[in-house]
Amino acid sequence: VLLLVSILGSVLSATAEVPRNATQASYYLTDNFAGTTFFDNFHFDTYDDPTHGYVNYMDKGPAFDDQLVAFWNNNQQVYMGVDHKNVVSDWARGRNSVRITSNKAFNGNNLIIIDAEHMPTSTGSLPGGCGLWPAFWMVGPDWPNNGEIDIIEYVNNQNIGLTTLHTSDGCSQANEDTSSFTGYWSVAADGWSPATDCSVYAPNQYSNQGCGIYGPSAPVGASFNAGKGGVYATEWVPGQFIRPFFFPRDQIPQDIHDQSPQPDNWGKPYARFELTDSACPSGHFKNNQIVFDTTFCGDWAGATFPQTCTGASSCNDYVKYSPNDFAEAYWLLNYVRVYTRA
């Protein structure tokens, strides 16, 4: 009996984060973005891409007319894609796509769950994903003073996700215990130091790099699609942490299916960011809205394109002249649900 207790205790300690308080948190559903009412909860952004992408963001009406957004499978799934039929005109801002932002803003004590079957990728003569920069993220007003939480973000042919915080000065993850998550830190500008300063102005990091964690268990793009997708769940608790989880389609916890999620039972997240006063005061993240977008090239995908996508004269030229390569550059969502901590 003692041996059994010992083994059981070891298993539990290996698979579940010990709660920081004695009471397990409970969550109730407050927002369910799904089906034909999905876009009622978002507005379509049409301004120039702030990350200087080769993209033309479409308004809601034209996006529906051009079938960049639609409802699939008896209106049960939400489709958001890009133009994959036309060479981009010389006078255009770039390839047609969409960027949507939630009407509602959030201030933490939330669990944000996205169930997706497909993420944007590309096909053709270059490696899958080349030219693309898709993201599912949250951002506050007066950037970066109210924070940015990039939950899913990747460029070109990356096959693992990067979750990153972007803030004003005074948010550091240098003392975060790396045993509290399964992923690994992105690397700073010196080529070896972990990028643990979340400030977009951090010295010794790339401009606007923030503090990012790669999740080897969190696939994106083509690798995500091969398994028919899955669930990303991000818990944001002011004064404690932001921690994202990923579950493949065949490993989604039953409590998520039952709409009664219990994150303390899910084991280690692939990333974890401390939101304590000594590390990163919670005031860095306020009034964050949910954003989906698929841009092309720009500050990140364009900068790394020559190293990862050889065979084209430039990122912009590849995106301009290769419409057929972007037929798979779409999001297919079952839902986005936001739960609030009781």
| 153 is a catalytic site residue | yes
Neighbours of 232 (CB within 10 A): 25
Catalytic residue among 17, 153, 176, 274: 153
Q: What single DSSP character describes residue 301?
A: I
Q: What is the distance between the alpha carbons of residues 245 and 45, in angstroms, rounded to a whole number?
A: 28
Instruction: Please report the sign of the dihedral spanned by the C-alpha atoms of residue 279, residue 281, residue 284, residue 286.
Output: positive
| 148 is a catalytic site residue | yes
The DSSP element (H or E) to which 1 belongs, if any, is none
C-alpha distance from residue 226 to each of 77, 221, 222, 249 (Å) = 18, 9, 6, 10
Specify the length of the chain in residues.
Answer: 342
* Burial profile 242-260: b = 16 or more Cβ within 10 angstroms, e = fewer: bbbbbbeeeeebeebeeee
Two tokens at 239? 């004064």
Phi, psi of 23 (to 5 degrees): -105, 130
Catalytic residue among 17, 117, 148, 274: 148
Residues serving a catalytic function are 148, 153
